[in-house]
Amino acid sequence: MSAPPIGMKDHNFNGIAAMNPKLGNKVINRMGYGTMRLPGLKGTPEDAALAHDLLRESVSLGANVIDTADIYGAGLANRLIAEALYPYPENLIIATKVGVKTGQDGRPVPAATPDEIKATVERDLVNLGVPALDLVFLRLPGGPLPDSGVPMHRSLTCLAGLQAEGLVRHIGLSSASTTQIEAAKSAVAVDAVQNAHFVGNRDSVTVVQLCHDEGIPFFAYFPLGMGMLIEKKTDLGPMAASYRASKSQIALAWLLALSPMIVPIPGTSNLDHLRENFAALNLTLSPADVNALSNVAGPCELASDGEQEASIAHSSQTQLPGVVG
């Protein structure tokens, strides 16, 4: 049996949910949009006009981070972004990825050599119609992506060179551990991290803590557990009913409550679902409910009130809900 949450009483998340991370001089809004579902890993969208509408509506709803990758439809996602949003809003951040490509069998395979990274960046620049990429994540091995055999430092050194040339503005890591983040700092400034994070998945809790402590934006992909909403571990239905919200909104509101550095990037090909996701920004869960969701896969701790106030003001070394010290 897991230990009860610590410091749950009288805890207030309102300040944390209202904070915003920054990338350079751009303030990041707390909900982004992921484009993987527009073309998928291969093929073309069934409805290009709908894809354009989804992108425009996401920006209209407040998204200023659009997550994409050359691997999404062999560059098609990037071309759809350009068709829908160019000329781009001044505050828009388009986040792309290198280090991965689609193999002959349709599965992701590594593409982390300097030549492969340069080629991916060049394609992104052309397909997006920009002189420089706002944010480029190096996708590290893990999950379905096997190890490339290319040292991370070598790939990052290549990105640093592209940054020095003015082709890349910011560099981040995708699917990274805390050890990899710390090691990467010898080659680049880690400006952002992008990992899977959702209710019931505790794989990235220490990474979330590090990003919170150091003020690094954390982009949560698969924030709805790839649409499964961790039904096998917990039923979000009763909690959703108590808030008059959807299960998806509960899952997103939980992420927003964990740290001001977290920016969920849900993807959808349905306009109603898109609007539903963004409405989660107006939902504040109680501390008890945040802890209940954090405890789905294990115990958690909460910061004391004093520590929490310090984190809001200075992003200090506080313990986050759902992160075990």
Q: Out of 72, 86, 221, 243, which one is annotated catalytic?
A: 72
Residue 316 CB burial class (10 angstroms; 0-12, 13-18, ≥19): middle
Is 72 among the residues known to form the active site? yes
> Among 151, 26, 46, which Cα is nearest to 92's?
26
Percent of the chain clearing pLDDT 70 (strictly above): 82
Q: Given a cut of 70, is residue 53 above it in pLDDT? A: yes
Q: Given a cut of 90, is residue 238 above it in pLDDT? A: yes
Q: What is the mean pLDDT of residues 110-115?
A: 98
Residue 98 CB burial class (10 angstroms; 0-12, 13-18, ≥19): buried
CB atoms within 10 A of CB 91: 13
Q: What is the mean pLDDT of residues 111-139?
A: 99
Please report which confidence band the pLDDT of residue 6 belongs to, taking 50, 70 and 90 as the band edges.
very low
CATH assignment, 14-314: 3.20.20.100
Percent of the chain clearing pLDDT 90 (strictly above): 74
pTM of the model: 0.86
Q: Given a cut of 50, is residue 316 above it in pLDDT? A: no
Q: What is the mean pLDDT of residues 156-171?
A: 99
